[in-house]
C-alpha cells in the first residue's frame, strides 16, 4: 500500500486549492501522510498509477468494522455538490482487513 505526502507548492485548478501529492515510503502509517478530505479523480489516478496494475483493489471503510469491501459501480453525477462528483459503490465484503493494513491506516487493532 502506498501513501502520499503533501508537497509545499499547491496547485490551483479553477480556483480550487489542491495540494500536490508525492509518493511516501511504502508502508508508512497513514497518520504521517494525510490526504485532503476530498480528492479529485486525477489525484486518485495518480495514486493508483504508482501501484502494481495487476493487484485487486478493495475498500477499507470503517475502523470499527474493519472488513475488506469489494468495489462496485462508478457513477458520475455532473450536478452533485455544485461542480459534480464521482461515486464509488461498495459491492459486498470479503474478509477481515489484515492487521498490517489496519496499522498502515492508523486504525486500532481489535
Region 15-20: mean pLDDT is 40
- Per-residue model confidence (pLDDT) at position 36: 77
The residues near 37 (Cβ < 8 Å, ≥ 6 apart) are none
Question: Are 2 and 40 part of one and the same domain?
Answer: yes
Question: Are 61 and 51 part of one and the same domain?
Answer: no
pLDDT in tens, 3-17: 444 433 444 444 443
Model confidence, pTM: 0.62
Region 63-74: mean pLDDT is 93
Q: How far apart are CA 66 and CA 81, in angstroms?
A: 29
- Per-residue model confidence (pLDDT) at position 72: 95
Question: Are 39 and 17 part of one and the same domain?
Answer: yes
Q: What is the extent of the structural domain holding 28? A: 1-55
**How much is the mean pLDDT over the chain?**
76
Top pLDDT among 69 and 11 is at 69
Question: Are 37 and 70 part of one and the same domain?
Answer: no
pLDDT in tens, 27-66: 444 444 566 788 899 999 998 999 999 999 999 988 988 9
Question: Are 64 and 78 part of one and the same domain?
Answer: yes
Question: Are 49 and 70 part of one and the same domain?
Answer: no
CB distance 2 to 47 below 8 Å = yes
Amino acid at each position: 500500500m502506498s501513501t502520499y505526502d503533501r508537497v509545499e507548492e499547491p496547485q490551483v485548478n479553477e480556483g480550487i486549492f489542491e495540494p500536490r501529492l508525492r509518493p511516501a515510503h511504502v508502508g508508512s502509517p497513514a497518520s504521517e501522510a494525510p490526504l485532503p478530505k476530498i480528492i479529485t479523480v486525477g489525484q486518485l489516478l495518480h495514486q493508483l498509477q504508482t501501484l502494481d496494475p495487476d493487484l485487486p483493489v478493495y475498500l477499507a471503510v470503517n475502523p470499527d468494522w474493519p472488513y475488506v469491501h469489494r468495489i462496485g459501480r462508478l457513477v458520475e453525477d455532473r450536478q452533485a455538490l455544485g461542480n459534480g462528483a464521482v461515486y464509488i459503490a461498495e459491492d459486498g465484503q470479503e474478509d477481515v482487513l489484515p492487521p498490517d493494513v489496519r496499522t498502515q491506516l492508523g486504525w486500532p487493532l481489535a
